[in-house]
Amino acid sequence: MHIRLLAVGDRQPSWVDDAFGIYSERFPREWKFRLDAIPTVRRNKKDKSRQAMEAEGELITAKLSQTEQVVLLDERGKQLTSKSLASKLSDWQSDGRDLCFVIGGPDGVSDTVRQRADMTWSLSELTLPHGMARALLSEQLYRAWSLQTGHPYHRD
């Protein structure tokens, strides 16, 4: 199974890249993890963000494979504990399909992207900056893997 993050926003603060890199470099090689960043569509004052969100949705769906499992990161999704994420990761691995996590743009994602998602996962009930979501996702995936393998990173 290959895992990737498809995220809108190609310019992040250095701390985001640093935090994201610390954990993603620890992922198992067989994941062949990668980040695919999509540029944020420029917003104008009169479009009320719907047009930009739809344009970003088209860019996202164009990069999704028909066979991938898609997990949308959204504050309205299902919350998971670290242990339940580890269990979910095992389920995804057993499924055999590649896995793609999606973080939308500043205004969220289009209905098309939402409908394409196999699961919608909330990292928190808090609204997070998208860079923070990237860092948190990478840490939680590493934690889930460490739970699966008995690695001492996670402590109860």
Q: Tokens 């603060």: give the residue.
A: 13
Is residue 22, in this structure, part of any structural domain at all? yes
Please report the beta strands in the chain, taking only residues with DSSP state E, as ranges in sequence order.
3-8, 34-38, 69-79, 99-103, 119-122
Is residue 156, in this structure, part of any structural domain at all? no
CATH assignment of the domain containing 85 = 3.40.1280.10
Question: Could you tell me if 134 and 33 are in contact, meaning their C-beta atoms sit under 8 angstroms apart?
Answer: no
**Burial of 156 per CB tally in 10 Å (0-12, 13-18, 19+):** exposed
Is residue 155, in this structure, part of any structural domain at all? no
Percent of the chain with pLDDT over 70: 96
Residue span of the structural domain in which 132 resides: 3-149
User: Per-residue DSSP letters for 105-135?
Assistant: BTTB--HHHHHH-SEEEES-SS---HHHHHH
Edge-first strand order for the sheet with 119-122 is 34-38, 3-8, 99-103, 69-79, 119-122
Output the pTM of the full model.
0.92
Per-residue pLDDT of the chain (156 residues; tens, 9 = 90+): 899 999 999 888 999 999 999 999 999 999 999 999 999 988 877 766 688 889 999 999 999 999 999 999 999 999 999 999 999 999 999 998 999 999 999 888 999 999 999 999 999 988 888 899 999 999 999 999 999 988 777 666
